[in-house]
Amino acid sequence: MTISEFPSTLSLPQTNPGVATVLEYLIIKFPFIDAQVWQQRVSDGKVHYYDGTLVTAQSPFKPQQRICYYREVESEPSVPFEEEIVFRDEHIVVAYKPHFLAVTPGGIYVNECLQNRLRKSTGLKDLQALHRLDRVTAGLVLFSINPESRHLYHHLFETRQIHKTYQALASLSENEKIVGEEWEIKNRIVQSEPRFRMQVIEGEANSHSVIRCLEQSTSKALFELHPVTGKTHQLRVHMQSLGWPILNDKYYPTLQPLSDDNYDSPLQLLAKSVEFVDPITHQPRYFRCSQDLSLN
């Protein structure tokens, strides 16, 4: 059994969903975790309030209380790739995330995630991701390390003042010539079946990307992608909608059978750079990772 070295947190909702205790809420909040598991976690002192006070089986539900718990998995894989800190000051850390490493705990990953790796290597217990990348996508991720200024950086994401540039590789059909061409995609993306997969449907657009082709060989092309919105799997879906699904994508255009990660064939999608005006210094910030995708 692997248990997280750092707690996950949640805030109890303003509206009581019909429970008397914190334990009852955790059981209905996480239906895929057996009730006995939560009962044992509480009994073992693995659930507590933000101030460190232990939650008991009798602790009453009170709206907006912050609860901390420690995720557990039977067996956690080790991801054999290293992260890299690109920038750090008293407010943020910008780090490169390799392919296959989750940003935060999820599924079978507890300590093998970028956030917990960085907390351990830097000693910054308050370090918290400001946004997400898919586990199979590589590239830059921003973290807040100062709780007092965190809301200012969250606001940049909420108001779309963070400008990100990605790279992607896709296969080309014979005789396609698309270098220098640009496409602006606006459509409506919603959950499909299974729910982790997205699809385009008719209706008001809720996603927006600008994509252009930088280079091509006889069989592949390198694209530069600018997401204006940030819907789940947006760039992967938009590349598929253009007819060039990203190389090594297990979800699009066809959902592949569940299998172990193939470290030799990562998804060819990279969050290359990020740009914004810093809300503290009011100076422009531009960060770029040294990694690139290549046609070779």
Q: What is the C-alpha to C-alpha distance for residues 48 and 238, in angstroms, rounded to an integer? A: 42
Q: Tell me, yes or no, whether 183 and 255 share the same domain.
A: yes
pLDDT score at 106: 86
Closest CA to 140 of 90, 98, 92, 88: 98
Q: Tell me, yes or no, whether 92 and 138 share the same domain.
A: yes
**123 inside domain:** yes
**124 inside domain:** yes
Average pLDDT over residues 94-116: 94
Q: Tell me, yes or no, whether 92 and 61 share the same domain.
A: no
**19 inside domain:** yes
Q: Is the model's pLDDT at 263 over the cut of 90?
A: yes
Is the bond leading into 98 cis (omega within 30 degrees of zero)? no
Q: Is the model's pLDDT at 17 over the cut of 80?
A: yes
Q: pLDDT, tens digit, for every residue of 79-90? A: 999 999 999 999
pLDDT score at 85: 98
Q: pLDDT, tens digit, for every residue of 157-167? A: 999 999 999 99
Tell me the sheet residues that pair with 138: 270
Q: Tell me, yes or no, whether 156 and 168 share the same domain.
A: no
Note whether 216 and 174 are within 8 A (CB).
no
pLDDT score at 41: 93
Q: What is the C-alpha to C-alpha distance for residues 35 and 242, in angstroms, rounded to an integer? A: 45
**292 inside domain:** no
> pLDDT confidence of 107, banded at 50, 70, 90?
confident
Q: Tell me, yes or no, whether 148 and 190 share the same domain.
A: no
Q: Tell me, yes or no, whether 51 and 100 share the same domain.
A: no
pLDDT score at 164: 98
Q: Tell me, yes or no, whether 36 and 59 share the same domain.
A: yes
> pLDDT confidence of 71, banded at 50, 70, 90?
confident
Q: pLDDT, tens digit, for every residue of 179-219? A: 999 999 999 999 999 989 999 999 999 999 999 999 999 99
Q: pLDDT, tens digit, for every residue of 118-140? A: 999 999 999 999 999 999 999 99
Q: Where in the sequence is the domain holding 30, given as residue range(s)?
A: 2-73
Q: What is the CATH number of the domain that holds 236?
A: 3.30.2350.10
Q: What is the C-alpha to C-alpha distance for residues 17 and 19, in angstroms, rounded to an integer? A: 6
Give the count of domains, the chain.
3
Average pLDDT over residues 272-295: 97
Q: Tell me, yes or no, whether 97 and 66 share the same domain.
A: no
Query: In Å, how far are 50, 81, 219, 224 from 123, measured between CA atoms?
Result: 19, 20, 46, 35
Average pLDDT over residues 40-65: 95
Note whether 139 and 289 are within 8 A (CB).
yes
Average pLDDT over residues 56-82: 93
Q: Which of 73, 104, 129 is the last residue of a domain?
A: 73
**The overall pTM is greater than 0.85:** yes
Q: What is the CATH number of the domain that holds 22?
A: 3.10.290.10
**235 inside domain:** yes
Residue 40, number of CB atoms within 10 A of its CB = 12
Q: What is the C-alpha to C-alpha distance for residues 296 and 37, in angstroms, rounded to an integer? A: 49
Q: Tell me, yes or no, whether 173 and 222 share the same domain.
A: yes
Q: What is the C-alpha to C-alpha distance for residues 44 and 54, in angstroms, rounded to an integer? A: 10
Note whether 228 and 160 are within 8 A (CB).
yes
Q: Which of 140, 161, 182 is the last residue of a domain?
A: 161
pLDDT score at 227: 98
Q: Which of 161, 192, 223 is the last residue of a domain?
A: 161
**219 inside domain:** yes
Strand (E) or helix (H) holding 238: helix 234-242
